């Protein structure tokens, strides 16, 4: 099986590659359009800032490539946010795969020291609705680091609650995305990555 990790100007790509290696999967980090189109699975990870990253994707025609893919695609963290319609981070239009707007967490007045931004650390996921998950993962804890979120909507595949309920995962057709980092989420994250690799063709 060929697994492509999209190479672009965002961090955290190597940790995803290492997590896959622990599962016995040798992924290829690449920006080659032909390889990405032919790959059996594509992963779109990232840690960075939305507007500068979208500018890079557009400059290198990766925006059109990603939205055209037909095989299972997994966005991680910034990858999820860029797969949405718009982000408040840099006030930028994104890929539009998921019809959600990405907003910044704003703590309630007086709660700034209780619910700090960014949301960083372990939190539970619930209301799982995607074949990315199995029933035993309900209410399990995964690792988050983010200041922006996609609200819960029709494509929400998992929910988390921090300041407000938000989409911990999204799915539409062959596009999957997690706001949390499965590659940093221990055995639970490894199972989610494995579930993605083992997805049946839709």
Q: Which active-site residues does the annotation give? A: 77, 181, 183
Q: How far apart are CA 165 and CA 110, in angstroms?
A: 19
Q: How far apart are CA 53 and CA 10, in angstroms?
A: 7
Question: What's the DSSP call for residue 40?
Answer: S
φ and ψ at 122, to 5 degrees?
A: -90, 135
For residue 86, the surrounding DSSP H or E stretch is strand 84-87
Whether 160 and 168 have beta carbons less than 8 Å apart is answered as yes
Q: How far apart are CA 60 and CA 83, in angstroms?
A: 16
Write out the E strands in 127-172: 141-146, 148-150, 156-162, 164-172
Terminal Cα-to-Cα distance of the chain (whole angstroms): 17
Whether 93 and 52 have beta carbons less than 8 Å apart is answered as no
Whether 85 and 101 have beta carbons less than 8 Å apart is answered as yes
């Amino acid at each position: 099986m060929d697994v492509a990790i999209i190479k672009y100007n965002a961090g955290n790509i190597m940790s995803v590659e290492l997590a896959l290696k622990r599962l016995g999967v040798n992924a290829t980090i690449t920006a080659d359009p032909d390889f990405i189109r032919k790959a059996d699975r594509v992963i779109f990870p990232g840690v960075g800032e939305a507007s500068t990253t979208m500018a890079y994707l557009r400059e290198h025609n990766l925006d059109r490539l990603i939205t055209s893919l037909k095989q299972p695609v997994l966005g991680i963290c910034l990858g999820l946010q860029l797969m949405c319609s718009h982000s408040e981070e840099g006030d930028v239009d994104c890929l539009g795969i998921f019809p959600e707007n990405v907003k910044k967490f704003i703590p309630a007045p007086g709660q700034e020291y209780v619910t700090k931004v960014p949301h960083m650390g372990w939190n539970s996921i619930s209301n799982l609705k995607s074949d990315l998950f199995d029933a035993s993962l309900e209410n399990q804890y995964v690792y988050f680091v983010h200041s922006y979120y996609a609200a819960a909507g029709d494509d929400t595949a998992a929910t988390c609650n921090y300041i407000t309920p938000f989409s911990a995962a999204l799915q539409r057709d062959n596009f999957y995305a997690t706001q949390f980092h499965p590659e940093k989420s221990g055995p639970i994250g490894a199972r989610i990555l494995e579930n993605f690799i083992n997805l049946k063709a839709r």
